[in-house]
Amino acid sequence: MTKRVALIYDVIIVGAGPAGLCAALYAGRGMLKAVTIERGAPGGELLNTDLIEDYIGFESIKGWELAQKMTEHAKKFGAEIVTDTVDRIRRAADGWFEVETARGNSYHSQAVILTAGGTPVKLGVPGEKEYAGKGVSYCAVCDGAFFKGEHLAVVGGGDAAVEEADYLTRYASKVTLVHRREDFRASRILQERAFANTKIDVIRNTVVPEIAGNEKGVTHAVLENKTTGKRSNLDVGGVFIFAGFHPNTQLVDGHVDHDAGGYLITDNKMMTSMAGLFAAGDVRSQVTRQITTAVGDATTAAIAVEKYLKSLRETDGKVMARK
């Protein structure tokens, strides 16, 4: 068995997407001893986004370039970024957190900022991965403006799919909403609004078993009727998939208050129901999930952590060393 090495910090930041990098920057500015643990390259979903045009101060910037700038900025203030996979976050009886990783390390602190984000549910069909960022998208707000005048397909039947289909009509010439069932799960008011939109066509009882394209991007989606099995091609310039989104909250050992979708509920300081555990970005319950909201959450969380640790010192006289 691999022996775990105990490493002591003021705060542990789990995830190095925009929220994690921003939290690392502010933790450094607050003179906190912090570590940011990220399983891959810093940047998170930015690395899966071709072009960003809705982050204030940058009229247009590549996702990887913004990720690089954020990483460099955080490191300027002393951010320590470790490449490792977090297996578990556990709060011990003494109030200290133990963050265990796949490489056998055990990071200890009295505060954790969880910025591990979430994962869009994939269809798992041919062409989805190949054309990700080249016509296949999971965010209408992020990518809709790139498809002006195009015919687009939206796959899904929940609130997100119906709402985003309606949103996309401000750019697209036409939107075809493809749902695998007869009835939609989306709220009635969202359905009424979307279905009244003359730019939206609805295809029911149909799945998308394949997404096809060429070197320029997506050219069509293959449709399959679930009743007859008949297949046809839908010529589109993009496919927006809203089959669900899983927040990465399974890392936390123990109950933390969350909403129906599994997103963590926080107070205005970004603290969850577990004392010392803060959440920021896509893992948190909120109205929208954008780069701007992620860094806003992280700013609040990092500053709140500084005050939280100060309150512990004032209450206990000092933050006790972990044995």
Please identify every residue annotated as catalytic: 139, 142-143
Q: Judge contact between 207 and 184, C-beta under 8 A.
A: no
Give start and end residues of each alpha helix (H) in the chain: 18-29, 63-76, 140-143, 159-168, 188-195, 291-316
Burial class of residue 304, CB neighbours in 10 A (0-12, 13-18, 19+): buried
Is residue 36 within a helix (H) or strand (E), and if so which, with residue range? strand 34-38
The span from the CA of 44 to the CA of 64, in Å, is 10
Name the residue with tokens 């809709």. 144
Task: Report yes or no: 273 and 279 within 8 Å, Cβ to Cβ.
Answer: no
Alpha-carbon distance values, 76 to 24, 41, 59, 117, 303 (Å): 10, 17, 24, 24, 18
User: Among candidates 101, 64, 57, 75, which has minimal Cα distance to 20?
Assistant: 75
Neighbours of 75 (CB within 10 A): 16
DSSP 8-class letter at 265 = P
Residue 178 pairs with which residues in a beta bridge? 155, 203
CA–CA separation, 163 vs 159, rounded Å? 6
**Would you report the helix, strand and coil content of the chain in percent, each value rounded to 5?**
25, 30, 40
Contact 283/247 with Cβ under 8 angstroms? yes
